[in-house]
A and B are shown apart, each in its own frame.
Chain A
Amino acid sequence: MSEPSMGMAGRVNDWGLRWREARWLQQPALLVGGGLLLAMVLASLLAKQISPYDPIAQNLSNTLQPPSPVHWFGTDNFGRDIFTRVLHAVQLDLQIGVLSVLFPMVVGLFLGSLAGYLGGWVETVVMRVVDVFTAFPFLVMVIAIIAILGPGLTSMYVALTLAGWSAYARIARGEILVIKKAEYVQAARALGFSNLRIMFRHILPNIVTPAIIFAMSDIVLVILSTTSLSFLGLGVQPPTPEWGSMIAEGRPFIMTAWWLVTLPGMAIVLVGLGLSLLGDGLADVLRTEE
């Protein structure tokens, strides 16, 4: 037998390898985006230390103050410090963003992969349902579902999941149809692995990448749509600080006190920026891994 040789791979020393594995460290977009989000989360965790005000207690003698060294973002119509409320809302808003994308992602990936992998009538049924769900305008469906279930965080998650899964199912099915043809999936079948194992070990890890990349931009959209929900009084209920409901509550004052709407809006923009940078960076890293 011929001499075993590592060719080009053989000369790559371990450090070279590690450094290349650690490609995520070399992605400015990833670092900046991640850093931005991390900073926001940290600030909200330290909210009590950063700002002396209470996010909920009203102070009616101090309403609608413009931004100043005392109240950086000014105060609202109940005299609450807006900066404090924006800080306190970070965790809730990120939680809403992440969970409202995670649930539909899991459901969508599962059903979409099932459809793509099994094919046949399962695929037909799932994809017809996907078509129906996609046909409804996103917000209309969310509002309708919350209207049925009654306002609140749980019904919001349910509604966003029901309205959002179909996009992930489409992605998953499309990717699976490609991967299913890849010979390593055929190889796994030839090796006698069970369908479950092939699905979870050999197929899903390879379709999660595009799904995650899509999810990053989806989170921003979801946070924005919670704003619309709060507008209609269907989202997070006052007085809990949440950017969407803050904007909704500040709307009547937009001509006289711009800071009520604009500054929480800035927070959403910042999160959006952080997430899309993170998404871009992640996309680069994950794509080049193959």
Chain B
Amino acid sequence: MNDLRAVPPILEVNRLSKRYVMNAGFWQQLTRRPPELLHAVDDVSLRIAPGEIFGLVGESGSGKSTLGRCLLRLVEPTAGQVLFKGVDILQLPRAQMQGMRRKLQIIFQDPYSSLNPRMTVRQMLGEVLSVHRLCPPHRVEARVRELLHLVGLPADAVDRFPRHFSGGQRQRIGIARALAMEPEFIVADEPVSAVDVSIQAQVLNLLIDLKAQLGLTMLFIAHDLSVVQHISTRVGVMYMGKLVEMAPRRLLFSQPRHPYTQGLLLAAPQPDPFHHSTRVALEGEPPSPLHPPAGCRFHTRCPLASDRCRQAPPPLQEIGEGHWVACHHHDLAVWPPPAVTPWAA
């Protein structure tokens, strides 16, 4: 997996942007006030090789879900390219896009709202199989059972409605539904954020198993760094719509070079009572996405910010093998930080 350049990527994202137009109501149009723009995803490029699990982390509102949905055209990007096996899916006419949908699937965060409350598991999975003629009618039943088995649900689950399942089980149904399409690429948008701790590990292990078993490629979105570290082969960090750092997993977690990544790592509370610090990892809060700061968007919170940072946005540059960072002063960002002192005797 280290030598990414050797393999042609299965998915390539080039300079992708999504801008939402805010306050474009009737009144605004009437008064000709220019609508405000929200850059949910701003000029993001990345490549994902076959068989990779690319982890995407960032705080809420950083644009992770928007990026994930743009890849499937559930949200239409404003600019940029999404090449799936070399084909720009953003240029595909509708009919061909429907065909492409089979190969690209998504698993959602909320196991409660992502299943239609009025359909049984059989109906849900059966619909997918028959609408896309994924298997002959007489095989549908067997295939449904096979899918349930694959995600670890008992066969008697078929006739139940979503309300009869726990959060973790619903998440499995969502995974089975995505797998029914036999996809080649899956966007998993925070699939474990809404399930219980004890269930989270079940779902993570299931995804790891499925990846190995079916050779899936995945964009795995999460806000929890330890979850991303656990499952990913490569990791990208987003802040206010920008990709600020990207590296193979081991590199990112052992030598993070962006001050924001470092802050995230320090802020994550670790289940280890011998390891703590009284220092606040990152001061301040993300500014309003409607009025992002000039220059580096992180400068309002960055301990290393200089005048240069307030003027020029740092480009994403490769500072080592596969290690990309968007920071003017990445060489000053020391890791691990000095003086992590225990707060209590």
Which residues on A are within 8 Å of B, measured CB to CB? 1-4, 6-10, 12, 17, 182-184, 186-194, 197, 201-202, 205-206, 289-290
Stretch at the interface among B126-134, B253-261, B289-297: B126-134
Inter-subunit contact A2/B127 (CB<8 Å): no
- B209 CB, nearest partner CB in chain A, Å: 5
Chain A interface mostly? helix
- Judged by a CB distance under 8 angstroms, whether B164 is at the interface is yes
Which residue of chain A has the shortest Cβ distance to B169 in the bound complex? A7
Write out the residue numbers on chain A whose beta carbons fall within 8 Å of the beta carbon of B70: none
- Judged by a CB distance under 8 angstroms, whether B239 is at the interface is no
How many Å lie between the Cα of A186 and that of B72 in the bound state? 11
- Judged by a CB distance under 8 angstroms, whether B28 is at the interface is no
Question: For residues 112 through 128 of chain B, which have their beta carbon under 8 Å from a beta carbon of chain A?
Answer: 113-118, 127-128
Inter-subunit contact B160/A9 (CB<8 Å): yes
Q: With contacts A1-B205, A201-B127 known, is A187 near B169, CB below 8 A?
A: no
Inter-subunit contact B164/A4 (CB<8 Å): no
Inter-subunit contact A183/B110 (CB<8 Å): yes
Stretch at the interface among B6-14, B81-89, B101-109: B101-109
Write out the residue numbers on chain A whose beta carbons fall within 8 Å of the beta carbon of B164: 9, 12, 17
Inter-subunit contact A184/B114 (CB<8 Å): yes
Write out the residue numbers on chain B whose beta carbons fall within 8 Å of the beta carbon of A187: 106, 108, 114-115, 174, 177
Write out the residue numbers on chain B whose beta carbons fall within 8 Å of the beta carbon of A186: 69, 74, 106, 108, 114
Beyond the given A4-B152, A192-B98, could you list 19 further A-B residue pairs with CB under 8 A, ordered by the A residue number?
Answer: A1-B205, A4-B153, A7-B169, A8-B166, A9-B164, A9-B165, A182-B114, A187-B114, A187-B177, A188-B116, A190-B74, A191-B105, A191-B128, A191-B181, A192-B181, A193-B127, A193-B131, A194-B98, A289-B117
Q: How would residues 201 to 240 of chain B score, 1 for a CB under 8 Å from any chain A CB and 0 otherwise? A: 0100110010000000000000000000000000000000
- Judged by a CB distance under 8 angstroms, whether B250 is at the interface is no
- Judged by a CB distance under 8 angstroms, whether B136 is at the interface is no
Closest 7 CB pairs of A and B: A192-B101, A183-B114, A183-B108, A9-B164, A4-B152, A184-B116, A190-B106
B: number of interface residues (CB 8 Å) = 42
Which residue of chain A has the shortest Cβ distance to B163 in the bound complex? A290
Partner of A2 from the list B72, B113, B206 (CB cut-off 8 Å) is: B206
Write out the residue numbers on chain A whose beta carbons fall within 8 Å of the beta carbon of B127: 193, 201
How many Å lie between the Cα of A219 and that of B249 in the bound state? 64
Write out the residue numbers on chain B whose beta carbons fall within 8 Å of the beta carbon of A6: 154, 156-157, 169
Q: How would residues 165 to 183 of chain B score, 1 for a CB under 8 Å from any chain A CB and 0 otherwise? A: 1100100001001100100
How many Å lie between the Cα of A214 and that of B181 in the bound state? 39
- A289 CB, nearest partner CB in chain B, Å: 7
Which residues on B are within 8 Å of A, measured CB to CB? 69, 72, 74, 98-99, 101-102, 104-106, 108-110, 113-118, 127-128, 131-132, 152-154, 156-157, 160, 163-166, 169, 174, 177-178, 181, 202, 205-206, 209
Q: With contacts A6-B154, A8-B166, A186-B108 known, is A191 near B101, CB below 8 A?
A: yes
Write out the residue numbers on chain A whose beta carbons fall within 8 Å of the beta carbon of B105: 190-191
Write out the residue numbers on chain B whose beta carbons fall within 8 Å of the beta carbon of A4: 152-154
Which residue of chain A has the shortest Cβ distance to B162 in the bound complex? A184
How many Å lie between the Cα of A9 and that of B159 in the bound state? 12
Inter-subunit contact B116/A9 (CB<8 Å): no
Q: With contacts A183-B113, A190-B72, A192-B98 known, is A205 near B202, CB below 8 A?
A: no
How many Å lie between the Cα of A140 and that of B169 in the bound state? 55
Inter-subunit contact A192/B132 (CB<8 Å): yes
Inter-subunit contact A206/B154 (CB<8 Å): no
How many Å lie between the Cα of A2 and that of B165 in the bound state? 17
- A177 CB, nearest partner CB in chain B, Å: 14
Could you list some 21 contacts between A and B, CB below 8 A? A1-B152, A2-B206, A4-B152, A7-B166, A9-B165, A9-B166, A12-B164, A183-B109, A184-B115, A186-B74, A186-B106, A186-B108, A187-B115, A189-B74, A190-B104, A190-B105, A191-B132, A192-B181, A205-B118, A289-B117, A290-B117
Which residue of chain B has the shortest Cβ distance to A188 in the bound complex? B116
How many Å lie between the Cα of A17 and that of B269 in the bound state? 42
Inter-subunit contact A184/B74 (CB<8 Å): no
Write out the residue numbers on chain B whose beta carbons fall within 8 Å of the beta carbon of A1: 152, 205-206, 209
How many Å lie between the Cα of A188 and that of B163 in the bound state? 18
How many Å lie between the Cα of A4 and that of B153 in the bound state? 5
- A195 CB, nearest partner CB in chain B, Å: 10
Write out the residue numbers on chain A whose beta carbons fall within 8 Å of the beta carbon of B169: 6-7, 9
- B37 CB, nearest partner CB in chain A, Å: 19
